């Protein structure tokens, strides 16, 4: 049996100190809950240290490792958390060289070799790691664990990429019990959560579209896999038993298979559990449908977020939105959600790869006119793992590899946009918030009415004042690290990036995840 400590780093660097801090998304991290579940299922002892809601505190990590004495420390990382992952790898190895330190999640999956070169990690897990991580805890030979990169005699070895898990119902329930609901009750942003404590949940994995700014394929591959409606209802029952009263759905395209989404809602209704939930990740506008939204509402869903991104159809087409998504569809989707009594939240991006000043103005004017209850603008960052990152890297347009700055509220120039200066994009983000929220009487009135109707008016007022006082972008991403001078340095400027895994691949096959002798099929490459 292995003793495992899983760590979710702090979000203060990416959300603290900017307008975004009013929507700091603090809830149990699903990636860790799912790998923990499988490891527990196989008899290992697992603890989770979640630093998301507070400052990065290396002393706390040190004492937790010293007290718990884990055999394995695992860290999850999106790109802005990568430097904390590097720091934890150094810190853990300073405590004991025999602790195995491993990483996984979006960033390590996007740059596995570079992640090993930039840290003291022993192993990087790429893509879904539910099975791979527990095989590692079980003590399998590294060469037999599919889906990892590891060091061997000063070389980096890859065991290839795993095929996606076909039947998600085979996975154990996420180990939400490793999180203390009280923490999430205290730290929740009341703009995001109506009935704290909330947890994160997933009913499906993957997406079949190819937006160039999106990194979801790097972990979940191209394709769409769903849990059965009964299993989804069972998960709702489980989280409720554990004390959670709300959940946020992480699915990329939950409503795209409308028939199945309705069945999921019906199964939740059948449980008789009164739970609130929201589709947190942007759903597709063309999936909007009156019956679907009415059923979502009945099942407890009170907010859907739409990934509008742009107010210009040509831009939507050029960056690869795909499907039938259009500006007009977006308008209809918002109307339908509101008619069903569901709040409509909008995500918009500025500085999209095909954007010009004109199209950014169109996006702002579109957002201003949509009857949204909430909206969010961000800079289109070329995140590692996205087709955009590959294209920009190939053209030499990536200007910074300072991972702390990689978030959508950054004000540091990370890349050169083909058309627009970075400052111009930043100015438009500021302008966007002023035009759509601060100086938009229609929005303020709508939000006030909603606040009175839902009893959330004073929360709105509190966050509104905070929003006005905070800067749009984050000027103080400074994290106090344990041993920055000890981090291995990898010079991205002169090194050639190995981005072969950036082809958007469909890794779907029938292979069973537990067959350790399987060989990865050559990826069916499709151009990004």
Query: Quick one: which segment of 72-80, 153-161, 210-218, 490-498 binds ligand SF4 (CB under 6 A)?
Result: 210-218
Least Å from the CB of residue 248 to ligand SF4: 16
User: Looking at 207, 222, 382, 432, which residue binds ligand SF4 (CB under 6 A)?
Assistant: 207
Q: Which two tokens mark 457?
A: 């008016």
Site size for ligand SF4 (CB under 6 A)? 10
Least Å from the CB of residue 407 to ligand SF4: 16
User: Looking at 27, 119, 216, 278, which residue binds ligand SF4 (CB under 6 A)?
Assistant: 216
| Residue 110 near ligand SF4 by CB under 6 A | no
Whether omega before 197 lies within 30 degrees of 0, making that bond cis, reads yes
Least Å from the CB of residue 216 to ligand SF4: 4
Q: Which is nearer to ligand SF4, 84 or 380 (CB)?
A: 380
75 CB contacts (<8 Å, ≥6 apart)? 6, 7, 8, 9, 84, 85, 88, 89, 101, 102, 103, 104
Query: Is 425 in contact with 350 (CB distance < 8 Å)?
Result: yes
Q: Pick from ligand SF4, ligand B12, none: which does 385 bind, CB < 5 to 8 A by kind? A: ligand B12
| Residue 247 near ligand SF4 by CB under 6 A | no
Q: Which is nearer to ligand SF4, 207 or 375 (CB)?
A: 207
User: Looking at 16, 181, 307, 387, which residue binds ligand SF4 (CB under 6 A)?
Assistant: 307
Q: Is 170 exposed, middle or buried (0-12, 13-18, 19+ CB in 10 A)?
A: middle
Least Å from the CB of residue 420 to ligand B12: 19
| Residue 347 near ligand SF4 by CB under 6 A | no
Least Å from the CB of residue 347 to ligand SF4: 9
Strands (E), 165-271: 198-201, 204-207, 223-226, 246-249
Q: Which two tokens mark 389?
A: 């990152």
Cα 212 to Cα 320: distance, rounded to the nearest angstrom: 6
Q: Pick from ligand SF4, ligand B12, none: which does 307 bind, CB < 5 to 8 A by kind? A: ligand SF4
Cα 339 to Cα 452: distance, rounded to the nearest angstrom: 18
Instruction: Classify each residue of 232-266 as buried b or exposed e, where b means 16 or more C-beta atoms within 10 Å of its C-beta.
Output: bbebbbbbbebbbbbbbbbbbbbbbeeebbbbbbe
Q: Which is nearer to ligand B12, 37 or 370 (CB)?
A: 37
Longest dimension (CA), the chain: 65
Compute the C-alpha angle 285/380/360, nearest 5°. Answer: 75
Cα 25 to Cα 460: distance, rounded to the nearest angstrom: 17
Least Å from the CB of residue 384 to ligand SF4: 15
Name the residue whose CB lies closest to ligand B12.
Answer: 104
Least Å from the CB of residue 152 to ligand B12: 18
Cα 52 to Cα 80: distance, rounded to the nearest angstrom: 12
Q: Which is nearer to ligand SF4, 221 or 292 (CB)?
A: 221
Site for ligand SF4 in 268-297 (CB under 6 A): 282
| Residue 211 near ligand SF4 by CB under 6 A | yes
Size of the chain in residues: 528
Q: Residue 226 CB: number of other CB atoms within 10 A?
A: 21
Chain-centre distance of CA 528, in angstroms?
Answer: 20
Binding site for ligand B12 (CB under 6 A): 11, 14, 25, 29-31, 34-35, 74-76, 78-81, 102-107, 110, 125, 128-130, 133, 200, 202, 214-216, 219-220, 250, 252, 281, 383-385, 407-408
Query: Is 400 in contact with 389 (CB distance < 8 Å)?
Result: no
Least Å from the CB of residue 504 to ligand B12: 12
Q: Which is nearer to ligand B12, 119 or 281 (CB)?
A: 281
| Residue 214 near ligand SF4 by CB under 6 A | yes
Q: Which two tokens mark 444?
A: 């303020």
Q: Which is nearer to ligand SF4, 88 or 222 (CB)?
A: 222
The kind and range of the H/E element at 230 are: helix 229-241
Q: Are strands 198-201 and 246-249 parallel, antiparallel or unpaired?
A: parallel
Q: Which is nearer to ligand SF4, 61 or 220 (CB)?
A: 220
User: Looking at 87, 252, 286, 373, which residue binds ligand SF4 (CB under 6 A)?
Assistant: 252
Query: Quick one: which segment of 208-216, 223-231, 392-400, 487-495 binds ligand SF4 (CB under 6 A)?
Result: 208-216
Q: Pick from ligand SF4, ligand B12, none: which does 125 bind, CB < 5 to 8 A by kind? A: ligand B12
Compute the C-alpha angle 104/106/107, nearest 5°. Answer: 80
Cα 423 to Cα 45: distance, rounded to the nearest angstrom: 49
171 CB contacts (<8 Å, ≥6 apart)? 34, 37, 38, 130, 165
Q: Pick from ligand SF4, ligand B12, none: which does 249 bind, CB < 5 to 8 A by kind? A: none
3-state secondary structure of 254: coil
Query: Quick one: which segment of 41-49, 203-211, 348-356, 398-406 binds ligand SF4 (CB under 6 A)?
Result: 203-211
DSSP 175-195: -GGGS-HHHHHHH--TTT-SS
DSSP 325-385: --HHHHHHHHHHHHHTT-EEEEEEEES-TT--HHHHHHHHHHHHHS--SEEEEEE----TT
User: Looking at 209, 260, 401, 443, which residue binds ligand SF4 (CB under 6 A)?
Assistant: 209
Q: Which is nearer to ligand SF4, 285 or 479 (CB)?
A: 285
Q: Pick from ligand B12, ligand SF4, none: which does 264 bind, CB < 5 to 8 A by kind? A: none
| Residue 340 near ligand SF4 by CB under 6 A | no
Least Å from the CB of residue 165 to ligand SF4: 18
Residues that bind ligand SF4 (CB under 6 A): 207, 209-211, 214, 216, 252-253, 282, 307
């Amino acid at each position: 049996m292995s003793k495992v400590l899983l760590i979710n780093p702090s979000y203060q660097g990416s959300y603290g100190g900017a307008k975004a801090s009013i929507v700091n998304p603090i809830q149990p991290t699903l990636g860790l809950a799912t790998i923990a579940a499988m490891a527990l299922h196989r008899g290992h002892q697992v603890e989770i240290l979640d630093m998301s809601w507070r400052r990065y505190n290396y002393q706390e990590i040190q004492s937790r490792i010293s007290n718990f004495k884990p055999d394995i420390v695992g860290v999850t990382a999106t790109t802005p958390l990568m430097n904390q992952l590097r720091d934890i790898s150094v810190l853990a190895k300073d405590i004991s060289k025999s602790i195995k330190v491993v990483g996984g999640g979006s960033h390590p999956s996007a740059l596995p070799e570079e992640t090993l070169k930039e840290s003291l990690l022993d192993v990087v897990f790429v893509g879904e790691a539910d099975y791979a991580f527990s095989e590692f805890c079980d003590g399998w030979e590294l060469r037999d664990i599919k889906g990892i990169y590891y060091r061997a005699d000063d070389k980096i070895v890859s065991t290839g990429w795993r095929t996606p898990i076909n039947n998600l119902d085979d996975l154990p329930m996420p180990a939400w019990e490793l999180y203390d609901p009280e923490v999430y009750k205290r730290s929740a942003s009341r703009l995001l959560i109506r009935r704290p404590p909330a947890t994160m949940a997933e009913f499906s994995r993957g997406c079949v579209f190819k937006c160039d700014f999106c990194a979801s394929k790097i972990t979940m591959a191209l394709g769409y896999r769903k849990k059965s409606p009964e299993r989804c209802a069972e998960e709702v029952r489980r989280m409720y038993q554990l004390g959670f009263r709300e959940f946020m759905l992480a699915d990329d395209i939950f409503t795209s298979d409308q028939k199945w989404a309705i069945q999921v809602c019906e199964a939740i209704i059948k449980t008789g559990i009164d739970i609130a939930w929201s589709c947190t990740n942007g759903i597709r506008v063309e999936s909007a449908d009156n019956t679907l939204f009415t059923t979502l509402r009945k099942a407890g869903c009170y907010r859907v977020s739409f990934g509008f991104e742009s107010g210009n159809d040509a831009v939507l087409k050029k960056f690869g939105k795909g499907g039938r998504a259009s500006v007009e569809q977006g308008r209809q989707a918002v109307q339908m959600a509101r008619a069903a009594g569901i709040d409509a939240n909008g995500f918009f991006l500025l500085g999209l790869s095909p954007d010009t000043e004109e199209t950014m103005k169109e996006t702002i004017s579109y957002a201003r006119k949509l009857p949204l209850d909430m909206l969010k603008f961000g800079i289109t960052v070329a995140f590692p793992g996205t087709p955009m990152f590959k294209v920009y890297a190939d053209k030499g347009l990536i200007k910074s590899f300072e991972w702390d700055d990689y978030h959508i509220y950054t004000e540091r120039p990370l890349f050169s946009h083909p058309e627009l200066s970075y400052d111009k994009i930043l100015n438009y983000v500021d302008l966007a918030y002023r035009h759509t929220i601060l100086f938009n009487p229609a929005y303020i009135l709508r939000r006030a009415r909603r606040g009175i109707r839902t009893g959330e008016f004073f929360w709105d007022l509190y966050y509104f004042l905070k929003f006005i006082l905070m800067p749009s972008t984050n000027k103080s991403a400074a994290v106090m690290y344990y041993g920055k001078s000890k981090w291995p340095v990898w010079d991205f400027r002169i090194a050639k990036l190995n981005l072969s895994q950036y082809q958007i691949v469909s890794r779907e096959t029938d292979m069973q995840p537990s067959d350790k002798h399987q060989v990865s099929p050559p990826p069916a490459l499709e151009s990004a």
